[in-house]
């Protein structure tokens, strides 16, 4: 960690405001009603947990939550390309409207893999909400329905995103550089 430098990219205030907008958009797309399927947000651990917690408080209908533990980075700043499911869902998603909540979409490889697994479980619908999107790095076609911010090809930390398990507790998002 010595020699790391954090350059501010997105302030806590901008994040909060954008999440309020995303919550309103999800609420509009999934209105409450007797004949509506259950709405479940599935967070990809560990990075999405703060985004997910703030996002569900902005959705105007009841939602359930589950988590999926997936890893492709290890201790590096670059994806290894090897995807590992570390924790599976605890509830079935058949017939459920699912919004998959991700902290950041980079190459799209991990998210494509996860979406393929979830589609095999027959949800009523499956959409993606991501706090951050790096479309310049995409190698697999992924089209999130809800995007917080599009960012440049930089390694970022804060607001749940980490480097070697550090910096998740920052309320803003910063670019991690070397001094």
Q: Which residues are catalytic?
A: 106
User: How far separated are the first and last CA of the chain, in Å rounded?
Assistant: 11
Tell me how far apart the alpha carbons of residues 73 and 101 are, in angstroms, rounded to a whole number.
18
Q: Report the largest interatomic distance among the alpha carbons of the chain, rounded to a whole angstrom.
A: 56
CA nearest neighbour of 132 among 97, 167, 174, 94: 174
119: how many CB neighbours lie within 10 A of its CB?
A: 12
One-character DSSP codes across 68-136: EEEES-TTSSS--S--EEEE--SS--TT-EEEEEEEEESSSHHHHHHHHHHHTT--SEEEEEEEEE-GG
């Amino acid at each position: 960690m010595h020699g790391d430098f954090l350059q501010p990219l997105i302030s806590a205030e901008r994040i909060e405001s954008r999440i309020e907008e995303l919550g309103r958009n999800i609420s509009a797309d999934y209105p409450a009603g007797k004949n509506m399927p259950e709405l479940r947000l599935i967070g990809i651990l560990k990075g999405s947990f703060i985004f997910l917690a703030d996002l569900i408080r902005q959705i105007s209908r009841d939602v359930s939550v589950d988590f999926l533990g997936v890893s492709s980075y290890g201790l590096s700043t670059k994806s290894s390309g090897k995807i590992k499911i570390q924790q599976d869902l605890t509830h079935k998603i058949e017939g459920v409207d699912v919004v998959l909540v991700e902290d950041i979409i980079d190459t799209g490889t991990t998210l494509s893999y996860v979406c393929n697994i979830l589609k095999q479980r027959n949800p009523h619908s499956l959409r993606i909400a991501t706090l951050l999107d790096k479309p310049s790095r995409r190698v697999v076609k992924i089209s999130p329905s809800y995007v917080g911010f599009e960012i440049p090809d930089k390694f970022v930390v804060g607001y749940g995103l980490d480097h070697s398990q550090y910096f998740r507790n920052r309320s803003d998002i910063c670019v991690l550089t070397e001094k």
